Amino acid sequence: MAGVKGVTSLLVVVSFALLFGFYEPPLPASFLIGILLAALLIFLGGKIVRLLNAESKWEYLLANWYEIPMLMALALALVGAGHWAGRVDPVRVRHWAVALYLLADVAIKFFMMSVHLAAAGRSPTRTWIAGFLILIVTGAGLLMLPKATPGRSGLPPVDALFTATSATCVTGLTVRDTGQDFTLMGQVVILALIQLGGLGIVLFGAVLALLLGRALSVRESAAMQDLLSEGTLGRINTMVVFVFVTTAVLETIGAAALLPMWNNVPGRAPDAQHLWYYSIFHSVSAFCNAGFSLFQDNLVGYRGSAGVYLVICPLIILGGLGFGVLYDLGAVAGDRIVRACRRLSRGPGRVFQRAPQRMELQTKTVLWVTALLVAGGMVLLFAFERLTHPGPEGRDLHVLDALFQSIAARTAGFNTVDIAGLSDAGKLILILLMFIGGSPGGTAGGVKTVTIAVVVMAVIATLRRRDDVEFFRRSVRMIVVRRAVTVMILFATVLFGATLTLCVTEARSHFSLMQMFFEVASALGTVGLSTGITPSLTTAGRFVIILVMLTGRLGPLTLLAAITFNLKSARYSYPEEAVVVG
């Protein structure tokens, strides 16, 4: 039965793509519609059989309650299309209704199956990696459809794969202009890849399962605990829901707040639909730290707009903090509010039975390092641009531009200035920020803020002749220190190795070493800033960047752990002998 469902689901996706992704379907439309109708009958038959075989019909209906409104919507579209469709062909409306119902059914089953597979295996990270690869290949296939790009010719496979990888890995590097070289269909595909890539298929499947009323099993909760790096198994369901709710709320608020910004550029007067579309696209792109923009000059045209600094910047920072940090901040803030309300209602002498909830070490570290990097990056970028460009070019970079690029360079690839026009010193500062990246458990890339904090404090502990790595009056275990050093070395190895490879593939392109180094650092940090060489890369160079983007999003340590998962720990150790270092 599972095999029949799998083959039927594949036929549904392929038939939908052939029927609605081409101006003229390569196969007869009647044949493709027949496949969809047959798939509908198979799916409905399967649901009826499962209902009849269920021990408790009521419990089955409760567990699959979402299918009832879906079937009602389908029936309404099939029966009433001739009455409310207006000038639209009712037959085509019915075809769309059947196709969308089947796609929704297939998507729900796929996402929920990903959670089950993550729990069934011994390594959830392998399922997570497989989910990213499936998402990239599917996205590339959709972007190759003729209707995804203007004209009747589809996107070349390499360009489609590059764009799908960049969107799924929330990077933002592009070989095609998102606003001009893709139709609304192509842009929606990119936006969906950004959202799913930012959250991850397994996490999205867990969110979907909880929203549909199905509780996670112990094994599924353990798998989500591993993927979210969450310490407490008991609150994993709450954490999963928090991730979804936080993402939806912040992206909605961001979209609404961005609405007034799009009228600030002369010559651009979008209507209400475009205003909302621009707002939603850039809000999702900012929170997921993707850096994709619908404008050819990214956000340069909106330089100085309040929305860039008051909406885009906070969305980037919040998305890069990590969901664990946001959860802890919300818990601490909620505890403070509750205690203040009780104190006001019952007097200042109110005695509480428990101590105030304290901020976790992870949260403190992330907030301090983020603040230092944002402020330090802004000061260094502004100062070095003035020093290296003493003329009008140096004065062209304002403090707000330096602040924005300091924030965007660590996580998202938006830019309000021409990156190619920056000095080598300015580009080197951006490379350092891209290498560090955002924080663990979020949508950002890089070695992560906590990693750099642990390594720096390890150096300070060595200089102070301390045996333990300490900060905020807490000690960090040596296994965490070793992990941080390993991540740093692996990232540096990939960075320099990919740059050397790019030097070979682009030997005839006359790119400077700084340009190639910057491109690789941007791809590895999943940032998306570029000096403008991305569209001019050779096919081999594009494949190098594709692999680097995937490595940066998944993390080299995650890939290494997935590869070496079956290796057993050694149960012995060799005698110690002193060596000289430094």
pTM for this model (two decimals): 0.87
**What letters, b where the CB count within 10 A reaches 16 and e where it falls short, cover 28-57?**
eeeebbebbeebbebbeeeeeeeeeeeeee
Tell me the pLDDT tens digit for each residue of 456-486.
Answer: 888 888 888 887 888 878 888 888 888 888 8
Q: What percent of the chain has pLDDT over 70?
A: 82
Instruction: Supply the pLDDT for residue 472.
Output: 79
pLDDT of res. 94:
80
Q: Give the CA count within 13 Å in the CB-facing half-sphere of 51.
A: 13
Quick one: pLDDT at residue 484? 85
Residue 109, domain extent: 1-120
Q: What is the pLDDT of residue 548?
A: 92
pLDDT, average across residues 98-123: 74
Residue bearing the bigger pLDDT, 381 or 564 = 381
The count of domains in the chain is: 1
Contacts 24+ apart (CB under 8 A), 216-220: 216/115, 216/240, 217/119, 219/119, 219/120, 220/115, 220/116, 220/118, 220/119
Please say if the pLDDT value at position 146 is more than 70.
yes
Alpha-carbon distances of 287 from 249, 442, 553, rounded to whole Å: 11, 10, 15
Residue 266 has pLDDT above 60, yes or no: no
Q: Is the pLDDT of residue 428 over 90?
A: yes
With respect to residue 75, please indicate whether it lies within any of the assigned structural domains: yes
Residue 566 pLDDT more than 60? no
pLDDT band of residue 495 (cuts 50, 70, 90) is very high
Q: What is the pLDDT of residue 406?
A: 92
pLDDT value of residue 50: 80
pLDDT in the model for residue 556: 66
Poorest-confidence range of 4-8, 136-140, 279-283? 4-8
pLDDT of residue 481: 85
State how far the Cα of 419 lies from the Cα of 533, in Å rounded to an integer.
Answer: 11
pLDDT of the residue at 25:
83
Q: What is the pLDDT of residue 247?
A: 86
Instruction: Give the model's pLDDT for residue 211.
Output: 60
Structural domain contains residue 531: no
Determine the pLDDT at residue 22: 85
The reported pLDDT for the residue numbered 379 is: 93
Confidence of residue 515 (pLDDT cuts 50, 70, 90): very high
Neighbour count for residue 347 (Cβ, 10 Å): 8
Predicted local distance difference test score (pLDDT) of residue 478: 84
Taking a C-beta distance cutoff of 8 angstroms, is the pair 459, 485 a contact?
Answer: no
Task: Tell whether the model's pLDDT for residue 213 goes beyond 60.
Answer: no
The string of pLDDT tens digits covering residues 162-204 is 999 999 888 889 999 998 889 888 999 999 999 888 876 666 6
* pLDDT > 90? residue 502: yes
Q: What pLDDT shows up at residue 86?
A: 58
Q: What percent of the chain has pLDDT over 90?
A: 20
Query: How many CB atoms sit inside 10 A of residue 222's CB?
Result: 16
Query: Considering only CA atoms, which of 516, 504, 449, 562 is closest in space to residue 127?
Result: 562
Top pLDDT among 313 and 154 is at 313
Q: What is the mean pLDDT of the chain?
A: 81
* Residue indicated by tokens 């030097």: 503
Whether 442 has a pLDDT exceeding 80, the answer reads no
Report yes or no on 43 lying in a domain: yes
Rounded CA separation 269/262 (Å): 8
* In-domain check, residue 66: yes
Residue 223 has pLDDT above 60, yes or no: no
Give the mean pLDDT of 572-577: 75
Residues 6+ apart with CB under 8 A from 325: 362, 363, 366, 367, 439, 441, 442
At 123 the pLDDT is 61
Asked whether residue 542 is assigned to any structural domain, the reply reads: no
